[in-house]
C-alpha cells in the first residue's frame, strides 16, 4: 500500500500507477538516497526532533538495507520510486519507528539531494576517465614530436605541423572538459535538504550539520528554488555534450584518415569490423558509433532544457523526466571514453603517407612568404610573389621544395641559397617556436604544462 493514500477513497489505476512510477530507473540512486537519509535522521536525533534511540535504530537499519541491496539480497521492486521503496522497507523491518524518518523532509528536497550527490560522484568518474585519455594523448604526443604531417584548414592542406601538435590539440579540449566538469561541481555542491516540499519546515532542523555530514560546502538559500532547480543537471548534460562533440571531431578525423584516399591510419583489427557482403571491408564502426552517440547526448540536453522550459515554481512532476536523460548520457559518455581510450594506442600511423601529405599541396608557401619578409619584403608583396611561384609550380607540375635556387631567384632577388632549406617541411615546422606552435621545443613545453595540469588537478595518485 502506498504511504500517501490517507486522503484517497479509491486506489490508483494500474496503468496510471505504472506511468507514475520511476523506480525502474531511479533505483540507481539507492546508495545516495540511503546516505542522505542517514545524515537527515542523525540530524533529527541530534536536534531532539526524534529520540536518539529511534535515530540510531533507523540509521542502523538503513545501513543494513544498503548492504542487502548491494549484495543482491534485497531486490528493488514494487514501490513508486526509490525513496518510497527504502522507506517502505525500513518500516517493514522496524515498524512504527521507521515512519519517523520522513519528519521535516519531502521527496522534493530528497530527490534534489540524491541527484546532486549522484552527479557529484559522476563528475569525478568522468574526470578520471578524461585524465586517462589525456595521459594516453601525452604519451602519443611525446613519441611523435618529429612526425611531420599536414595541417588543414577548410579541409584543404594548409601548413606542415606534427602529429604531436595534433594530439595535443585534442588534449587541450579534454583538459578544458576536465575544468568544465570541476566548475559544474561547484554548482552541484549545494545541499537542498530542509527545503521540504517547497517552503522549508517549522522543525528546528540543523541544515549545516546535514551539509557537513554529506560533505557539501554550501546550503541552498531559497527553498522554492532548491526543490525546483535543475540548472546543475542541465550544466552537467551540457558538459557531457561538449565532451562528446570533442570526441566526435577526433573520431571523424580517424574515420577519414583511415580511408584508402588518405591512408594516414590503419585501424587495428581489434577495433574495426567487417561487412556482411563485401569481403574486403574493414570499417571504422567504433569511431562511427562514438560520433553517432554524440547526437543522443545533444538530444538529452535539449530534452531537459525543454522539460524545464516555462515550469512554474516550485517542484513539478515533469522533473522526474530528468533522470533517464542524465543516466543515458552518463552511460554513453563513460562507454565512449573507455572504448576510445583503449582504441587510441592501437592506431597505426603511416608516417610515410603522413609526410607525403605534408609535402604536397604547397604547404610551405606561407613559410616562403615569411622568408621574403625576413629579407626585407612587405608581407603583402611577399604573399603575391609566392602566389606567382605557386602558380608556376602548378603549371610545371612541381612543388616548392623541388625548385632550384635559380627558379626562386627569377621571382624575387631577395631569394638566396638558404631558401632551399627554409622550405623543407621539417624546417618550416621547427621555425615556429612561439608558445602554442608545432616546433619540437614548443610542443614539448606544451606537454610539460599538460603534465603539470594533471598533477595539480588530480594529485600524484595514478
What three-state secondary structure class fits 285? helix
Of 316, 115, 303, whose CA–CA distance to 224 is shortest? Answer: 316
Contact region with ligand ARG (CB under 6 A), list: 254-262, 314-322, 390-398, 405-413:
314-322
Label residues 385-405 b or e (16+ Cβ within 10 Å = b). bbeebbeebeeeeebbbebee
User: Which residues from 13-42 bind ligand ARG, rule CB under 6 A?
Assistant: 22, 26
171 binds ligand ARG (CB under 6 A): no
User: CB of 320: closest distance to ligand ARG in angstroms?
Assistant: 4
Contact region with ligand ARG (CB under 6 A), list: 47-55, 312-320, 345-353, 435-443:
312-320
Residue from 222, 320, 427, 431 binding ligand ARG (CB under 6 A): 320
Residue 83 annotated to the active site: no
Label residues 30-50 b or e (16+ Cβ within 10 Å = b). bbbbbbbbbbbbbbbbbeebb
The grid cell for 332 is 554513453
Place of cell 496503468: 15
Residues touching ligand ARG: how many (CB under 6 A)? 10
C-beta closer to ligand ARG: residue 111 or 428: 111
* Contact between residue 361 and residue 150 where contact means Cβ atoms under 8 Å apart: yes
Of 355, 353, 435, 440, whose CA–CA distance to 144 is shortest? Answer: 440
Contact region with ligand ARG (CB under 6 A), list: 156-164, 258-266, 283-291, 311-319:
311-319
Residue 11 annotated to the active site: no
Contact pattern for ligand ARG over residues 262 through 301, marking x by CB under 6 A: ----------------------------------------
* Contact between residue 31 and residue 66 where contact means Cβ atoms under 8 Å apart: yes
Residue from 205, 233, 290, 319 binding ligand ARG (CB under 6 A): 319
Residue from 107, 185, 291, 293 binding ligand ARG (CB under 6 A): 107
* Contact between residue 427 and residue 118 where contact means Cβ atoms under 8 Å apart: no
The grid cell for 93 is 523491518
112 binds ligand ARG (CB under 6 A): no
Residue from 81, 189, 239, 370 binding ligand ARG (CB under 6 A): 81
Residues 6+ apart with CB under 8 A from 189: 116, 120, 216, 217, 218
Contact region with ligand ARG (CB under 6 A), list: 42-50, 63-71, 313-321, 365-373:
313-321
Which residues does the annotation mark as catalytic?
A: 154, 275
Residues in the site for ligand ARG, rule: CB under 6 A?
22, 26, 81, 107-108, 111, 315, 317, 319-320
Amino acid at each position: 500500500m502506498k504511504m500517501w493514500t490517507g486522503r484517497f477513497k479509491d486506489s490508483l489505476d494500474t496503468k496510471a500507477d505504472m506511468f507514475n512510477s520511476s523506480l525502474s530507473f531511479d533505483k540507481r540512486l539507492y546508495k545516495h538516497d540511503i546516505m542522505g537519509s542517514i545524515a537527515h535522521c542523525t540530524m533529527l536525533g541530534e536536534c531532539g526532533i526524534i529520540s536518539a534511540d529511534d535515530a540510531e535504530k533507523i540509521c542502523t537499519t538503513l545501513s543494513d538495507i544498503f548492504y542487502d541491496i548491494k549484495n543482491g539480497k534485497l531486490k528493488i521492486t514494487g514501490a513508486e520510486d526509490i525513496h518510497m521503496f527504502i522507506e517502505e522497507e525500513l518500516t517493514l523491518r522496524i515498524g512504527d519507528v521507521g515512519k519517523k524518518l520522513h519528519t521535516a523532509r519531502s521527496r522534493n528536497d530528497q530527490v534534489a539531494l540524491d541527484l546532486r550527490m549522484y552527479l557529484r560522484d559522476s563528475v569525478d568518474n568522468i574526470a578520471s576517465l578524461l585524465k586517462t585519455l589525456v595521459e594516453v594523448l601525452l604519451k602519443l604526443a611525446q613519441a611523435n614530436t618529429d612526425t611531420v604531417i599536414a595541417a588543414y584548414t577548410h579541409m584543404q592542406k594548409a601548413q606542415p605541423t606534427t602529429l604531436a601538435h595534433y594530439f595535443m590539440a585534442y588534449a587541450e579540449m579534454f583538459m578544458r572538459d576536465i575544468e568544465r566538469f570541476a566548475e559544474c561541481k561547484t554548482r552541484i555542491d549545494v545541499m537542498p535538504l530542509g527545503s521540504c516540499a517547497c517552503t522549508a519546515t517549522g522543525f528546528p532542523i540543523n541544515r549545516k550539520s546535514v551539509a557537513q555530514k554529506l560533505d557539501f560546502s554550501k546550503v541552498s538559500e531559497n527553498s522554492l528554488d532548491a526543490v525546483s532547480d535543475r540548472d546543475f543537471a542541465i550544466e552537467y548534460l551540457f558538459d557531457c555534450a561538449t565532451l562528446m562533440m570533442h570526441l566526435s571531431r577526433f573520431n571523424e578525423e580517424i574515420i577519414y584518415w583511415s580511408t584508402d584516399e588518405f591512408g594516414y591510419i590503419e585501424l587495428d583489427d581489434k577495433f574495426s569490423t567487417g561487412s556482411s557482403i563485401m569481403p574486403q571491408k574493414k570499417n571504422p564502426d567504433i569511431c562511427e558509433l562514438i560520433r553517432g552517440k554524440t547526437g543522443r547526448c545533444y538530444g538529452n540536453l535539449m530534452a531537459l532544457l525543454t522539460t524545464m522550459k516555462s515550469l512554474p515554481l516550485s517542484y513539478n512532476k515533469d522533473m522526474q523526466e530528468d533522470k533517464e536523460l542524465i543516466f543515458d548520457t552518463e552511460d554513453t559518455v563513460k562507454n565512449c571514453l573507455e572504448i576510445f581510450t583503449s582504441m587510441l594506442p592501437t592506431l597505426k600511423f603511416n608516417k610515410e603517407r603522413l609526410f607525403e601529405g605534408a609535402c604536397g599541396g604547397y604547404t610551405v608557401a606561407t613559410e616562403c612568404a615569411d622568408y621574403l619578409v625576413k629579407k626585407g619584403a612587405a608581407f603583402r608583396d611577399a604573399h603575391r610573389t609566392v602566389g606567382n611561384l605557386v602558380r608556376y609550380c602548378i603549371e610545371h607540375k612541381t612543388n616548392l621544395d623541388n625548385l632550384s635556387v635559380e627558379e626562386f631567384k627569377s621571382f624575387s632577388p631577395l631569394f638566396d641559397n638558404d631558401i632551399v632549406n627554409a622550405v623543407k617541411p621539417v624546417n618550416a615546422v621547427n621555425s615556429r617556436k612561439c608558445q602554442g606552435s608545432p616546433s619540437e621545443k614548443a610542443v614539448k613545453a606544451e606537454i610539460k604544462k599538460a603534465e603539470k595540469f594533471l598533477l595539480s588537478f588530480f594529485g600524484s595518485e595514478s
